[in-house]
Amino acid sequence: MSFEIRSKDLLGRIGRLRTKRGTIETPFLLPVINPISQLIKAREIRDTFRFEAVITNAYLVWRRFRNNPPKIHELLDFDGIIATDSGAYQILQYGDVEVNPNDIIRFQEQLDSDIAVILDIPTDQTATEQRAKWTVDETLRRAKEAEHTITRRDVLWVGPVQGGVYPELVSYSAREMAKLNFQIHALGSPTTVMQQYHYDKMVDMIMAAKLNLPPDRPLHLFGAGHPMMFALAVALGCDIFDSASYALFARNDRYLTPEGTAKLEDLEYFPCHCGSCYKRNPVEVRKMLKFERERFLVEHNLHTCYSELQTIKQAISVGRLWELVEARAGNHPALSRGFDTFLKYAQYMESETPLRKKRGPFLLSEKSLSRPEIIRHCKKLIENYTSPMTTTKRVILLPDKYLEPFRQNFDNDTSLQKLLRNPQLHLCSYNLPYGIIPNELVDVYPLSQTEDSVKPTAPVLRNTTKRIVKWLRRSHYKSRIIVVEDAWQHKMAESIRKQLKGSKIQILEIEPGEDATSKLLALINRKKS
How is residue 132 annotated by DSSP?
Answer: H
> Can you give the pLDDT at residue 405?
47
Judgement on whether residues 104 and 78 belong to the same structural domain of the protein: yes
- Answer with the one of 352, 372, 391 that is the final residue of a domain: 352
Rounded distance, CA 299 to CA 305, Å?
10
Same-domain pairing of 167 and 111: yes
Residues 324, 437: one domain?
A: no
Residues 53, 159: Cα–Cα separation, whole Å: 19
Q: How far apart are CA 75 and CA 197, in angstroms?
A: 35
Dist. CA 305–CA 224, nearest whole Å: 11
d(CA 29, CA 53): 8
Identify whether residues 10 and 142 lie together within a single domain. Answer: yes
| Residue 357, in any domain of the structure | no
Tens digits of residue pLDDT in 253-280: 999 999 999 999 999 999 998 989 998 9
The answer to the question of residue 8 being in a domain is yes
In a shared domain, residues 468 and 413 = yes
HEC states along 31-57?
Answer: EEECCCCCCCCHHHHHHCCCCCEEEEE
CA atoms within 13 A on the CB side of 138: 13
The DSSP output letter for 384 is: T
CA 440/CA 425 separation, integer angstroms: 13
For the sheet with 425-431, list strands across it: 435-438, 425-431, 394-399, 479-484, 505-509
DSSP string, 349-366: HHHHS-S--SSPPEE-SG
Same domain as 371, residue 344: no
458 φ, ψ (degrees, to nearest 5): -60, -45
What residue spans of 475-515 are helical by DSSP H?
487-499
Burial letters 159-196, b for 16+ CB under 10 A, else e:
bbbbbbbbbebbbbbbebbbeeebbbbbbbbbbbbbee
Distance of CA 12 to the CA centre of its chain: 5
- The answer as to whether 267 is a domain residue is yes
Shared domain for 373 and 332, answered yes or no, is no
Which amino acid type is present at position 235?
Answer: A
In a domain, 422, yes or no: yes
- Please provide the size of the chain in residues: 529
**Domain boundary pick from 332, 352, 372:** 352
Cβ–Cβ < 8 Å for 155, 113: yes
| Cα angle: 210, vertex 211, 213; to 5 degrees | 65
- Verify that 385 and 314 share a domain, yes or no: no
- Report yes or no: 197 and 332 within 8 Å, Cβ to Cβ: yes
Please give the radius of gyration of the chain, using alpha carbons only, rounded to the nearest integer.
28
Inside any domain, residue 419: yes
**Do residues 185 and 161 lie in contact, with contact meaning Cβ atoms separated by under 8 Å?**
yes
- Cα separation values, 86 from 185, 202, 250, Å: 14, 23, 25
| Tens-digit pLDDT profile for residues 405-418 | 445 554 555 566 66
Domain, as residue range, for 515? 362-528
In this prediction, residue 299 carries a pLDDT of 94
- Ranges in the chain, pLDDT < 70: 1, 94, 389-392, 402-421, 527-529
pLDDT of residue 420: 66
In a shared domain, residues 183 and 329: yes
At residue 49, what are phi and psi to the nearest 5 degrees? -110, 0
If DSSP codes are grouped into helix, strand and coil, which group holds residue 156? strand
Helix (H) or strand (E) holding 207: helix 199-210
Write the DSSP assignment of 211-246 as a string of letters: TTS-TTS-EEETT---GGGHHHHHHTT--EEEESHH
Set 85, 112, 242, 400: catalytic member: 85
Q: Is 85 a catalytic residue?
A: yes
116/158 Cα distance (integer angstroms): 6
Using the Cα atoms of residue 431, residue 436, residue 442 and residue 448 in order, give the sign of their dihedral.
Answer: negative
Which letter, b or e, does each residue of 449-466 get, where b requires 16 or more Cβ atoms within 10 Å of its Cβ? Answer: ebebebeeeeebbebbbe
**Which pLDDT belongs to residue 391?**
67
Instruction: Identify whether 446 is preceded by a cis peptide bond (ω within 30 of 0).
Output: yes
Same domain, 405 and 509: yes
Q: What's the CA gap between 182 and 197, in Å, rounded?
A: 30
Q: Is 497 a domain residue? A: yes
Indicate if 319 and 371 belong to the same structural domain. Answer: no
Total count of domains within the chain: 2
List the CATH number of the domain containing 463: 3.40.50.10630
Pair 227, 366: CB distance under 8 Å = no
What residues form DSSP beta bridges with 164? Answer: none
- What CATH number does residue 318 fall under? 3.20.20.105
End-to-end alpha-carbon separation of the chain, Å? 74
Which are the contacts of 250, defined by CB distance < 8 A and separation ≥ 6?
294, 295, 296, 297, 298, 301
Which of 352, 380, 395 is the last residue in one of the domains? 352
What is the Cα–Cα distance from 365 to 189, expressed in whole angstroms? 33
Residues 280 and 135 in one domain: yes
